[in-house]
Structure 1
Amino acid sequence: MLALKTYRDKAKGVPDLLDWAALVDDGIVLGKSGALLAGFYYRGPDTASSTADERNYVTERVNAALARLGSGWVSWHEAARLPSAGYPPVEASAFPDPVTRLIDAERRRQFTTHGAHYESDYALVLQYTPPLRRNTKIQDYLWDEDPTAAPQSPADQTLTAFKKALGDLEDALGTVLTVRRMTSYTHVCAHGREHLRDELVNYLHFCLTGDDTPLNIPPDGMYLDAVIGGRELWTGDTPRIGDRYIACISLEGFPGASYPNILDVLEHLPVAYRWSSRFIYLDQHEAVTHLHRYRRKWKQKVRGFWSQVFRTQGGVVNEDALLMAGETEAAITDASSALVTFGYYTPVIVLMGEDRGRLLDSARMVSREVQRLGFACRLETINAVEAWLGTLPGHPHPNVRRPLIHTLNLADLLPLASVWAGLDTAPCPFYPEGAPPLLYGSAPGSTPFRLNLHVGDVGHTLVFGPTGAGKSTLLGTVAAQFRRYPDATVVAFDKGRSMLALALACGGAHHDIAGEASKLSFAPLAALDTPGDLAWAEEWIESCYQLQTGVPPTPAQREEIHRAMRLLSQEKGPQERSLTDFLLTVQDEKLRSALAPYTISGPLGHLLDSTRDGLSDAAFTVFEIEELMALGEKTLIPVLLYLFRRFEKSLRGQPALLLLDEAWVMLGHPVFREKIREWLKVLRKANCGVVLATQSLSDAVRSGLLDVLLESCPTKILLPNEEADKSGTSQVPGPRDLYTAIGLNAVQIGILKTAAKKRDYYYLSPEGRRLFSLGLGPVALAFVGVSDKDSVAQVRELAASHGPDWPFHWLQKRGVRYDHLL
């Protein structure tokens, strides 16, 4: 008979140190101690753009939510800073030309060589330990929620009450934070088998091992301590679990006062860590009892021993003890008010890594940054294992620290502010699933920024900024990076030829409308094949009439337009429908005289009175309209209306982007003002985003369109403006008044004032807000940062002499090396 005692080692292993037992419900873990555990993922606002009142409001609401908890409750508020996802792989994008591929290759190289990038995720894990059954027996006789309901076991009653408390807390926190419960889900493996997984279990596994690999839950849900804790653990002053060493930094001393997000510096560190803030809640009577002990201790120190024994009024008074006794009285008042809840707070920052030397260097760097804020902290040695165990959600007993603070102080110390890095995929539901973001930018600190123009399926964007702030460079970069999406279409209305180099380099079409050497002409009445075409053509004629006369056509004139347009569509072919042919069928003299300037006999006939359209379809088209804008709105608006119609008909559901630089301000004319809301809605449904840019915010206000555009364009990008804080008068509003009108607060206006021109951009949308920079390299700048007359002339010369290979000759001429990017 084989003796098994030799193989039955009774020494404790990692599972014996853990309290996790079983997954008993959706996202709820039962501990060996009988405690219930549940978790949330949350994200707070980016407070870099928040005022002091806004930050205080967040902490007040979090305090109000947490103050509901009492004895038996423990919370772990955690911020896990992890390496950011890398730059999208080459195969994730579909750049159709070598130049935009080269630009993206340069941006990928810059992203990967500028050091590691980190992002923070936030979790709140709550544990509730129900009281002993004998202590709550009388409750069953005094209270029954529903006498008609089927009787529940004590375990089911506790679970039901726990779920209700979680729901109430989620509702309370959801007013200021984005909160999501950790839940269970089903995973189908490569063999087609279904496995149960749970986000809370996965997070517990990450806390223990630093590994974020999801785990399959055993069919019976037990035993989680063995499922999660199947790792080797070496103790010591620098413990190691598996291949990762563990360093713990404990915060011991605190500043004299707290303020919201006092530990915000941790959100910008270029190091991976898990910052755990454990709080053990106390009921009101327990907190008051503890505080009375503190008060008695300090009062005993106010006067010396002999003065107390003989009850004399002499002797030296300990002013510090007297002050502390007064503060203890104030704390007792706070505890009695029930506006805050007191408890024991234990903050620990956990770092894990395979290189022990590098790990300790990172730990010392974190310790120095925290100490600069007035905190006293210690790199744990002999207490390292105990400190680490205390950070694991569900383990309230190890490493209990005794500083008694209340939930309002706790809210100031918690990671409630997040550095928003943007969405890691394109949020538009019309794009391919998992499509990469539009572009990767850079920002202060080590957190990247992923720019997306879309908020849901709406990609309309406003761009405001003064002259010379980098608006044209931004639009060119957006156009170049947008070509990463399959079958993407980009149409831009440019001013100043800032997109000429990019358009020609990408094999697109560049049209100088009304330029000196331009021979471009349009045939707006050529397409009259459908009722929609006829309706648009009639409306276009009415708009031209109103522009010339200042009044809309009469009902009789509208009827005459309809008759003449129908006759033109029936008697003339697509290549024979000119504006002159239309006027030959019009019997109204006022209509003919008003529309005559647009015919070949008038000054604008070379633009609009053609039988054949000079445009060709291209995936990237740029219209230069500086000379066209100089001709006035009577010329500009008819041309824009036709080009918009042509662009609208080219939309087939493919990703499309329409860039309007300055021209949109002219659309405030009454002819177009009534149409723009519906037009933006039509383009949204056709999977097209519209970017409206202007140098003057005051022009946008005077256009009469600002209210419509603010409603229709959820994304805004603001450029630096050193005059942003200048106020005006009631007659002449200043920049500050205009920025306030679009919803900016004083902090955001200050950001615009101090930001660097041609480098920084301020992104603002319902998804988040962030100051970022494009981080363009020499290759990108050679195509998106070229607008001076000499460079434009050189580009045209090279394009004419070298054909499709001219972009590489252009790079060589500018001294830009690109061989390493091919």
Structure 2
Amino acid sequence: MSLISAAAGLAAGSLGATALGKLREHRKAPRALSDLLGWGFLVGEGVVLTKDGSFLAAWRVRGRDLASSTVGEVAALATHVGAALSAYGDGWMIHADAVRREAVGYALPERCHFPDPVSALVDETRRARYTATAEHYETESVFSLTYTPPPGLVGRLQKAVVAGRDGARDGSRGGVDWDRLLGQFEREARGLRDRLSSAVRIERLGSADLLRHLHECLTGLPHAVGVPGRGAYLDYALADQPFVGGFEPRVGGKHVRVVAVQGYPNTTTPGLADPLLRLPFPYRWSLRFLPFSPATATKVIGKAQLGWFQKRRGAGDWVKDMASKEKRQDTEMDLAFQDANASQMVLDAGAARASNTGGELRFGYLTACAVVMAESGRAADDRAAGLLKAVRDLGFTGRVEDVNAVDALIGSLPGHGHANLRRPVLSTDNLVDLLPLTAPWGGHREVPSGLFPPGSPPLLWARTDGSTPFRLCLHEGDVGHTLVVGATGAGKSVLVGLILAQWRRYAGARTVTFDVGYSHYVSGRAMGAAHYDLAGPLAAGRPVEMQPLRDVDRPEVRTWAVDWVESLVELQGERLSPDERGRLAHAVGLLAESPPEDRTLTALLVGLGDERLRALVRPYTLEGPYGQLFDADRDSFGAGNSPSSGEEAVRHQVVELSHLVGMSDRVLVPALTYLFRRVEEGLDGSPTLIVIEEAWAALMHGRFADRLRQWLLTLRKRNAAVVVVAHSPAQFRDPGVKGAQLLVESCPTRIFLPNPDAAEPDTAALYRWLGLNEAEVSRLARARKKQDYYVRSPSGARTFDLALGPLEMAFLGTLPGRSADETVREAARLADADPEKWLTEWLRLCGLDAEADALERSYPVRLGPCASDATAPTRR
């Protein structure tokens, strides 16, 4: 006997002679909450068989943020969802629940692994600030689908059980193949998912999640529920709280109030219920729709039309007409005294019949209510009053249930179609307008990448309008590549600096920042990062040097080294012949036999017998203008990242490129390609964040563009995310920047900064090319400079504020009354003069004496690698 047959038999046997087609209690007088529930058994993964023989399944659904959508997009969403739901008629039932609950709290200290006192203090301060503000809530929407087989089939099942006939081996009972019915229901469930998936994000609930949802709807408790064993009654398993009925019911320790919608506005529009999904307290918005088949709808609408037709005139007029045997035509005066509302309703009913007959719409009974559960009666009353006001503000009429409170609660539960049955006939268009399809996005609750430890917290918590918080994660699946687009002075550096600081919360995290303009010098030095000022003033007396050929004893590096030296030739406008490339490869191979410190470009020059090759390589040796940068006998970048260095790897690095950017591509491109290789060599699977400021554009030329694109495609496999920073969307449309489209496509997460010119036609076209719609472009034009940020990803979109305080700005901003350059110079002076105490002195200089005291009390002052010990001495 199959599981469905056994469960169906148990369901029928438990009811005995009670009609299965009616949702009634097991006993004439219910003794417990479980007696009021219709949930029976689990008969498949994520499928419940109810006591009346129905099948129930559910999906987690999320649509768009209404504030980030155009009118056309919201209308298209409504049309698509309406068409998907129009496939159902008699015997089907749709429940939609928008559960507003407390948001996931700030990451606990024990889940964070900050390696330095400054980033730890910054996060501690942000946690305190977040928890001290008003409570935060977010909305989860769940759609449930219930199918009740025809009454004859249920009756035959009951008779078979009562008569004692066992089920057949093929899953039939009473001549009914219940396994086949379950299979048909599963196919319909998959069809609903397929029809909705192109419009909304939809995820089928498994058994554990389904039971958790049903339990939360009943008790208001959001915790997980254990999946009971085979054949266990779900009504007893889920009704695990004491229940008190009456006008003001209680479930467990929660007081229950139900706000019932009684009347609807004359017209509805897509997203009408969106304000209800932003209220600052927990509750559940519940919609139950019992769709009609076209034939049933014709009967119901026709009956209603006749009723309204008869209400046009008073009862006395109807009696006179019936007493008179002569038919008479209504005069103009008769029409003037008829009920105008009733006459209009007759016309509306006629239009509904036409839409139903033409297949444009489907109709059904809609029951809408909001369920409030609170720890005290006063809190429940206050929230119910707030909900009632919000409902009325949207044009509905409603009331707080009293006599009907228990029935209204039961009727709001998924799978319960008979309790609190309301009979207003509405169309699928009206239903979709009320569905919770446009709630604001709260961000990922944890990092969605399988390469991070399970349960890794979001990157950072931000501030938004309303009570729904926002948690920023750069990742979409395993891909964390991100674009940051914003004009100079709009706040890019502050955003990126905070992202770098907060990234350190992950165990073993690594960061590499290719900076332009010393934007991350202060924060990098404060948080212990090694700082490299390539050809810049902060490297005076301790130049940063590179040894690109140091590890050519490894075959894979030897191949790379040949390509890298060949790129030096190409940057001078020359090309190597196959013979010349062969001689170059041979010379590099000979170099591999030397000690690591002798594998220099000067040594390569000696090994090259071809004078043309020697002339092309010479500019990068000590004999040429670029030798101080490339022709070293020790690599000062990323100490420990080279296998031959014998040193511990540096976990956090800042590389200043502003002085290289001012040079020709002959210097910048080979430097970046070499540095990128060193970064890649250091990847060990730990969460790594690589920030590339404006210098990325220099690589988007010729063969170097292909290398950068390939780098983006492969880095994610090694748990590295790349943040590309641009000052304008026009950079990606520059004809000289090849492969920009693939670069953009490689970055699923995109963060945009305010731009007052965003709505200008030419600029708006650029933003649309980056994936924004008209509403989003308009938001950028209205956004507040240095305060608002707009993130868009495949999972959702949201405007947020970093909620920065004085402590963060002490390291991400400038000193009071000082310019950016003056701030950098002062930080360098203090850090070099007293590496042990400069952090507290810096905070006091910023006017943060209390924070300086906290740093001294709570954290041992320790200094990470800095420019003075991370760089190499000059060549002797």
Does TM, normalized by the shorter one, top 0.5? yes
Task: Determine if the alignment matches structure 1 residue 766 to structure 2 residue 794.
Answer: yes
Structure-to-structure mapping, 1:65-464, within 5 angstroms:
65-133=84-152, 153-154=175-176, 155-184=178-207, 198-216=208-226, 218-219=228-229, 221-302=231-312, 306=317, 309=321, 311-314=328-331, 315-317=333-335, 318=338, 319-464=340-485
Deviations 1:369-399, CA, capped at 9 Å, x for gaps = 2322222222223332222221122322222
Residue type of the alignment partner of 1:706: A
Counterpart in 2 of 1:783? 811
Structure 1 residue 470, shift from structure 2 partner: 0.9
Secondary structure at 1:429's aligned position in 2? coil
Structure 1 residue 491, shift from structure 2 partner: 0.8
Counterpart in 2 of 1:670? 702
Task: Determine if the alignment matches structure 1 residue 545 to structure 2 residue 601.
Answer: no
Residue segments in structure 2 that go unaligned for 5+ positions in a row: 1-26, 157-168, 322-326, 640-648, 859-876
Structure 1 residue 169, shift from structure 2 partner: 2.1
Secondary structure at 2:442's aligned position in 1? coil
Counterpart in 2 of 1:730? none
Structure 1 residue 602, shift from structure 2 partner: 2.4
Matches of 1:27 and 1:742, distance apart in 2: 39
Q: 1:64 to 1:802 in 2, by over 3 A?
A: same
Secondary structure at 2:537's aligned position in 1? coil
Contact 1:546 1:671 in 2 (8 A): no
Matches of 1:795 and 1:99, distance apart in 2: 15
Say which is worse superposed, 690-699 or 270-279, in terms of deviation: 690-699
Counterpart in 2 of 1:193? none
Residue type of the alignment partner of 2:607: T
Say which is worse superposed, 494-503 or 155-164, in terms of deviation: 155-164
Counterpart pick for 1:803 among 835, 842, 849: 835
Counterpart in 1 of 2:554? 530
Contact 2:172 2:179 in 1 (8 A): no
Deviations 1:256-309, CA, capped at 9 Å, x for gaps = 221111110122111100111011222222221221222223333446664983
Matches of 2:619 and 2:792, distance apart in 1: 44
Structure 1 residue 231, shift from structure 2 partner: 3.5
Q: 1:508 to 1:199 in 2, by over 3 A?
A: closer
Contact 1:543 1:671 in 2 (8 A): no
Matches of 1:564 and 1:311, distance apart in 2: 113
Say which is worse superposed, 708-717 or 374-383, in terms of deviation: 374-383
Deviations 1:137-190, CA, capped at 9 Å, x for gaps = 9xxxxxxxxxx9886642444333333322322222223223233333xxxxxx
Say which is worse superposed, 434-443 or 496-505, in terms of deviation: 434-443
Secondary structure at 1:603's aligned position in 2? coil
Q: 1:426 to 1:135 in 2, by over 3 A?
A: closer
Matches of 1:809 and 1:216, distance apart in 2: 55
Counterpart pick for 2:688 among 656, 672, 678: 656
Secondary structure at 1:15's aligned position in 2? helix
Secondary structure at 1:803's aligned position in 2? coil
Contact 1:14 1:229 in 2 (8 A): yes
TM-score, L = length of structure 1: 0.91
Contact 2:53 2:154 in 1 (8 A): no
Counterpart pick for 2:54 among 32, 35, 48: 35
Task: Determine if the alignment matches structure 1 residue 631 to structure 2 residue 659.
Answer: no
Secondary structure at 1:796's aligned position in 2? helix
Counterpart in 1 of 2:45? 26
Counterpart in 2 of 1:746? 774
Deviations 1:716-744, CA, capped at 9 Å, x for gaps = 111111111112xxxxxx32121122222
Secondary structure at 1:74's aligned position in 2? strand
Secondary structure at 2:369's aligned position in 1? strand
Secondary structure at 1:799's aligned position in 2? helix
Matches of 2:746 and 2:549, distance apart in 1: 30
Q: 1:511 to 1:412 in 2, by over 3 A?
A: same
Matches of 1:677 and 1:352, distance apart in 2: 53
Counterpart in 2 of 1:48? 67
Counterpart in 1 of 2:517? 496
Q: 1:20 to 1:524 in 2, by over 3 A?
A: closer
Counterpart in 2 of 1:520? 544
Structure 1 residue 10, shift from structure 2 partner: 6.0
Matches of 2:153 and 2:384, distance apart in 1: 47
Q: 1:707 to 1:552 in 2, by over 3 A?
A: farther
Q: 1:134 to 1:622 in 2, by over 3 A?
A: closer
Structure 1 residue 351, shift from structure 2 partner: 0.8
Structure 1 residue 331, shift from structure 2 partner: 0.5
Secondary structure at 2:385's aligned position in 1? helix
Q: 1:596 to 1:416 in 2, by over 3 A?
A: same
Contact 1:77 1:123 in 2 (8 A): yes
Q: 1:230 to 1:465 in 2, by over 3 A?
A: closer
Structure 1 residue 477, shift from structure 2 partner: 0.9
Say which is worse superposed, 227-236 or 340-349, in terms of deviation: 227-236
Residue type of the alignment partner of 1:781: M
Structure 1 residue 580, shift from structure 2 partner: 2.5
Matches of 2:783 and 2:769, distance apart in 1: 20
Matches of 2:673 and 2:97, distance apart in 1: 54
Structure 1 residue 230, shift from structure 2 partner: 4.4
Matches of 2:170 and 2:409, distance apart in 1: 45
Secondary structure at 2:834's aligned position in 1? helix
Counterpart in 2 of 1:194? none
Matches of 1:517 and 1:408, distance apart in 2: 66
Counterpart in 2 of 1:57? 76
Matches of 2:598 and 2:209, distance apart in 1: 67
Task: Determine if the alignment matches structure 1 residue 736 to structure 2 residue 764.
Answer: yes
Say which is worse superposed, 57-66 or 305-314, in terms of deviation: 305-314
Matches of 1:363 and 1:41, distance apart in 2: 26
Residue type of the alignment partner of 2:582: E
Matches of 1:554 and 1:609, distance apart in 2: 25
Counterpart in 2 of 1:568? 591
Deviations 1:618-640, CA, capped at 9 Å, x for gaps = 21110111111111222111111
Matches of 2:469 and 2:454, distance apart in 1: 22
Q: Quote the RMSD (CA, aligned, Å).
A: 2.4
Matches of 2:227 and 2:697, distance apart in 1: 59
Matches of 2:621 and 2:724, distance apart in 1: 31
Structure 1 residue 218, shift from structure 2 partner: 4.9
Q: 1:379 to 1:11 in 2, by over 3 A?
A: closer
Matches of 2:662 and 2:244, distance apart in 1: 77
